[in-house]
Amino acid sequence: MTSPLPRVGSLDWVRAIDHPELLAAPTLAALTRWITADPRVADEVSVAEIDPSLADTAALTAAYGLPPAASVNCVLIGGRRAGDERRAAAVVRATTRADVNNVIRRLLDVRKASFLATEQATEASGMEYGGITPLGLPADWRVLVDSRVVGSRVVGSRVVGSRGGDAGVGDSAVGDSAVGDSDAGVVIIGSGLRRSKLALAGALLARLPGAEVIDGLAVG
């Protein structure tokens, strides 16, 4: 039995894997690999075409009647340690902001962490500015997902405290089963392109290959 497509705002949502023209090349490649490993994902990730001039969160929310809390941003961050460049994506709700100077800096173990410049971010990710997504980033980048994005009931994915240790009771990981129901509901993320957005359950991001669910990654 397939999962129903989301009904979020006034956008027309369709299965993302059926519309490669609405996905950046690295996003399509990553989604294809994910579906190969977990066929359920084909029915769980949707895409909708948008006006590219409305890709930014505030404009998108107003134009398409989207819940403000549903929008999730993916920001790219880098830092250096002993000459080694370390990069990560921080996936946070648009109503919050990534804690770059404290939590993310400690997780990367660098003296200073900062947002990648626009040109650097787009070139390194192979994605368009305003459409950057955690799906399809370089394999050696860490993908850090704030626990508020996936919700409070996370199963089968390690939840890490903001200081790098396993989170305490209430933010636990249980067994190897799939992610269970989430309080987060559907979230909207980039597709790698400005002219479309992806929708999926917030809890599904905890199943994204390589993702680390971090308690306290965002503030606000």
Structure tokens at 63: 């134009």
pLDDT given for residue 7 in this prediction: 75
Distance CA 108, CA 212 (A): 13
15: left (phi over 0), alpha (psi -120 to 50) or beta: beta
- Cα separation, 150 vs 86, whole angstroms: 25
The pLDDT value given to residue 68: 86
Check residue 93 and give its pLDDT.
Answer: 96
Mean pLDDT of the chain: 86
Would you state the pLDDT for residue 8? 86
Which of 194, 210, 207, 200 minimizes the C-alpha distance to 55?
Answer: 194
Per-residue pLDDT at 174 exceeds 70: no
pLDDT above 80: residue 214: yes
Residue-by-residue DSSP string for the chain: -PPPPP--TT---EEGGG-GGGS-HHHHHHHHHHHHH-GGGGGT-EEEE--GGG-SHHHHHHHHT--GGGBEEEEEEEEEETTEEEEEEEEEETTSEE-IIIIIHHHHT-S-EEEPPHHHHHHHHTS-TT---STT--TTSEEEEEHHHH-S---SS-EE-TTSSBP-TTS---SSSPP---TT-EEEEE-SSTTEEEEEEGGGGGGSTTEEEETT-EE-
Q: Is the pLDDT reported for residue 6 higher than 50?
A: yes
What pLDDT, on a 0 to 100 scale, did the predictor assign at position 178? 31
pLDDT at 157: 38
Query: Residue 182: pLDDT above 70?
Result: no
| Predicted pLDDT at 4 | 62
Question: For 111-120, 150-159, 181-190, 210-219, which range has the lowest pLDDT when averaged over its residues?
Answer: 150-159
Give percent above pLDDT 90 in the chain.
76
160 has pLDDT over 80: no
Note the CATH architecture for domain 14-219: Alpha-Beta Complex (3.90)
Domain boundaries of the chain, sorted by first residue: 14-219
Residue 69: pLDDT band (50, 70, 90) is: confident
